[in-house]
Structure 1
């Protein structure tokens, strides 16, 4: 791996509309940008949005050669603390035995009206 940071993006995924990379490696770290669900805003409930956002974050992790075991820290932004229990259930199901450090931040609103956004740091 190069000593300078390198962008990481899952194959076949449309490039972000904003001025950023889905992920950036800076050996031995992988910094994963905040990921919103990949489904249409307002088209699903919290469970579907949470699963979509988690899977989008994991796609970047996998594109860098990692698995959930490589995650060191995950930050979750939820539009309303009342969504925490439902989010936690989806997260636990997808993450299995992996238990990276995690912070859940209740926020008043997220871009496009989504309920969840996730970013992460991994060691690859």
Structure 2
């Protein structure tokens, strides 16, 4: 990690290839003290196309693909996930997400929270953030 003028260590911020440019004042990934923190990933493809009108399943697959791209770009992986937080606009999507997630995660079983939140930005149905080992 980089230092600053006082010698304090600072986290490393990254926006890995394969992800759209962040739409706000944040980085997709922050790496600090051996951990990778992935910002909330929305169903936006690498070219910046928002999948607002896509099915829940398509949105969920895109979000997980974004999460994997962020992890890989930071030198981490699905197997190194520690915790995953899933925000759903409608809890009715939980069973469908759980099936897609289980296929995506394979043998990895990080701690996980599913949080029903009501409407998400742009009308998206899902957002996922995570913490992994670097």
Q: Which interval holds the TM-score relative to the shorter structure?
A: over 0.9
Q: Does 1:86 align with 2:92?
A: no
Distance in 2, Cα, partners of 1:85 & 1:110:
19
Alpha-carbon shift at residue 11 of structure 1 (Å): 2.0
Deviation >6 Å, runs of 4+ = none
Q: Does 1:18 align with 2:24?
A: yes
Rg larger for: 2
Aligned residue number for residue 11 of structure 2: 5
* Aligned residue pair count: 124
Please name the residue that 1:109 is paired with. Answer: 119
CA distance in 2, matches of 1:12, 1:50: 17
Separation in structure 2 between the aligned mates of residue 111 and residue 10 of structure 1, nearest angstrom: 22
Specify the alignment match of 1:68 in structure 2. 78
Q: CA RMSD in A?
A: 1.4
In the alignment, the residues of structure 1 paired with residue 20 and residue 14 of structure 2 have an alpha-carbon distance, to the nearest angstrom, of: 13
Distance of aligned partners of 1:91 and 1:123 in 2 relative to their CA distance in 1, 3 Å threshold: same
- CA deviation after TM superposition for structure 1 residue 14, in Å: 3.5
Deviates more, 1:21-30 or 1:36-45: 36-45
**TM-score, with length taken from structure 1:** 0.93
> Counterpart in 2 of 1:37?
43
User: Residue 67 of structure 2 aligns with which residue?
Assistant: 57
Q: Which runs of 5+ in 2 are unaligned?
A: 3-8
User: Where in structure 1 are there 5+ consecutive unaligned residues?
Assistant: none
State whether residues 41 and 112 of structure 1, in contact with CA within 8 Å, keep that contact through their aligned partners in structure 2. Answer: no
- Using the size of structure 2 for normalisation, the TM-score is 0.87
Q: CA deviation at 1:12?
A: 5.3
Whether the 8 Å contact between 2:18 and 2:66 is mirrored in structure 1 is no
